[in-house]
Structure 1
Amino acid sequence: MPAVDQLVCFALYAANRTTTQAYRALLEPWNLTYPQYIALVTLWNDGEQTVGSLGEALQLDSGTLSPMLARMENAGYLTRTRRPDDERVVTVALTERGVRLRTELAHVPQCIAAGSGLTDAASARELIDALRHLTEAMKDLRDHPDDARDAHATRHTA
């Protein structure tokens, strides 16, 4: 067994890659990427919003988000409009075509759930909760790496 198979980080990496590849296969007929799909899901569920709030929700920076939204606007899925009262704020809204995509892509979540082996909503919720907990822990580590190094050093010198 390769050494990487014993690493949690590699298991997460491999799961992420293959999940993204599965989404790519499902979304290819619509020429959509996974980030574009999650932007659509956010707009379908949360409605019109600013580029800033969408970027926050998707955890994407403006350098990634703006070109992606431009491609989606060119495809006719959404519009971006500057607010008249503050032109620095850009609002993103779905077009009729973007709204119709919800029906066309309704099979995607079921396909992903079936492919992942999640048998019910409770098992999906459990996995989501565990991954959110991991994400928060890794954000804390990212933001405070010295704390983790200090804790590790303290445990091994005590």
Structure 2
Amino acid sequence: MLSATLKRMTTPATDWLRLDQQICFSLNAASRAFNGVYRLVLKDLGLTYPQYLVMLVLWEHGELPVKKLGEHLRLDSGTLSPLLKRLETAGLVRRERSAHDERSVEVRPTAEGVALRERAVGVPRRIASATGLDLAEVQDLRTRLDRLTAAMDAYREEPSASA
């Protein structure tokens, strides 16, 4: 461990521009690999990975305004609206204008969408198995990624970040 630390301290600055040194590339490659596994696992459910995420939020929270759903998923309405339209066409969700606020659209799972939850119960276990990590490692990785996301969000919000 000490020799790796010493090596990093003496690594020329230009080596930091190597592709294999970029955390963003490692995260992107991992994300693409996850998407490929999700594509296989979700095929039987007839869902794409983004549609699965929408359904996860609706199964957890029930009916939500589109804006709140987007906040949970970190998606803007331009990305979320086509997803919801496809899920509605598939009969899994229903979108309706809010009775309290005409500007707001509420989304809720249909009976078919709720029933799909039972078929999806095994998905997280299959994904966890595909990682090759044990449960503690998966939880630790998620905690670290959440911290990374929070740090990157905070950096982006700093006035000096754009300078």
The two structures have a TM-score, normalised by structure 1, of 0.85
Whole-angstrom CA distance in 1 between matches of 2:38 and 2:156: 28
Partner SS state of residue 118, structure 1: coil
> Structure 1's 79 and 119: CA in aligned 2 closer, same or farther, altered over 3 A?
same
Deviation per residue, 1:94-116 (Å, 9 max, x gap): 11110111111222101100011
Whole-angstrom CA distance in 1 between matches of 2:35 and 2:148: 19
Whole-angstrom CA distance in 2 between matches of 1:147 and 1:51: 30
Matched to 2:150, the amino acid is: E
Kindly indicate whether the alpha-carbon contact (under 8 Å) linking 2:91 and 2:112 is maintained by their aligned counterparts in 1. yes
1:115 aligned residue: 130
Deviation, 1:136, is 1.1
Residue 46 (structure 2) pairs with residue 31 (structure 1): yes
Deviation, 1:66, is 0.8
Greater displacement, 71-80 / 101-110: 101-110
Q: How many residues align?
A: 146
1:134 aligned residue: 148
Whole-angstrom CA distance in 1 between matches of 2:159 and 2:39: 34
Partner SS state of residue 92, structure 1: strand
Whole-angstrom CA distance in 2 between matches of 1:65 and 1:7: 29
Gaps of 5+ in 1: 150-158
Identical positions, percent = 45
> Structure 1's 11 and 93: CA in aligned 2 closer, same or farther, altered over 3 A?
same
Deviation per residue, 1:94-150 (Å, 9 max, x gap): 111101111112221011000112312x3322111100110011112323373497x
Whole-angstrom CA distance in 1 between matches of 2:56 and 2:142: 17
The two structures have a TM-score, normalised by structure 2, of 0.82
Kindly indicate whether the alpha-carbon contact (under 8 Å) linking 1:76 and 1:97 is maintained by their aligned counterparts in 2. yes
Deviation, 1:10, is 1.3
Matched to 2:64, the amino acid is: Q
Whole-angstrom CA distance in 2 between matches of 1:142 and 1:14: 22
